[in-house]
Amino acid sequence: AQKVTQAQTEISVVEKEDVTLDCVYETRDTTYYLFWYKQPPSGELVFLIRRNSFDEQNEISGRYSWNFQKSTSSFNFTITASQVVDSAVYFCALLSYNTDKLIFGTGTRLQVFP
Amino acid sequence: GAVVSQHPSWVICKSGTSVKIECRSLDFQATTMFWYRQFPKQSLMLMATSNEGSKATYEQGVEKDKFLINHASLTLSTLTVTSAHPEDSSFYICSASPDTEAFFGQGTRLTVV
């Protein structure tokens, strides 16, 4: 069975704080892809990153960074020096190469206060 | 990147009527599209996989007669909510993948009154 767990339902921080959003996944597939999406109040899904199961290199993109640990089946997302505009719901998702289905975690609502 | 367009972005309809939502891949062909449903403050739940030229595959618990899916061309999939009821009010969003990256439509907020 495929499953994505985002244990943090809601996180509140003050601007300029660093924040890490956790994501733990389950899959029996050897080939899979992990994603992070941002969903602002308007509802559209904004793609942030894709990582395939064979690439465990961590990635940094501006204030965003991702830590992929296959040994613990985790794909955590860190926002450095958070800003009010980062307030949104963030979803971690798993795509199975075999089924092509994208399974979402329950999401983490991030609120950044000025 | 690839673009997926969904229309309408919002719709209000009366109980008992049917509503059609369109999902188009604008710059690539999609033999498979996916339809998701999202209740307020909840995650996206996969409803069905739309297959071009064949029947859609529905996830467990999704009524196929209630949510009709048609994928008549490589760039268009439609979801029709038949005999809509207030409990069908939700945010519906489609996605398509030119490769292993999923692109999402803007979503359709359906309100049934």
Mean pLDDT within B59-86:
94
Neighbours of B17 (CB within 10 A): 11
pLDDT digits (tens, 9 = 90+) for B73-82: 999 999 999 9
Q: Say yes or no for a CB contact (<8 Å) between A102 and B100.
A: no
Peptide bond into A41 cis (omega under 30): no
Q: Say yes or no for a CB contact (<8 Å) between B46 and A50.
A: no
pLDDT digits (tens, 9 = 90+) for B3-49: 899 999 999 999 999 999 999 999 899 888 999 999 988 999 999 99
- Contact residues on chain B for A49, CB-CB shorter than 8 A: none
B92–A contact, CB cutoff 8 A: no
Q: Which residues of A57-86 are buried (b: 16+ CB within 10 A; e: fewer)?
A: eeeeeeebbbbbeeeebbbbbbbeebeeeb
Q: Say yes or no for a CB contact (<8 Å) between A91 and B46.
A: no
State the smallest CA–CA distance between residue B104 and chain A in angstroms: 7
Per-residue pLDDT of chain A (114 residues; tens, 9 = 90+): 789 999 999 999 999 999 999 999 999 998 999 999 999 988 889 989 999 999 888 889 999 999 999 999 999 999 999 999 999 999 999 998 777 788 999 999 999 999
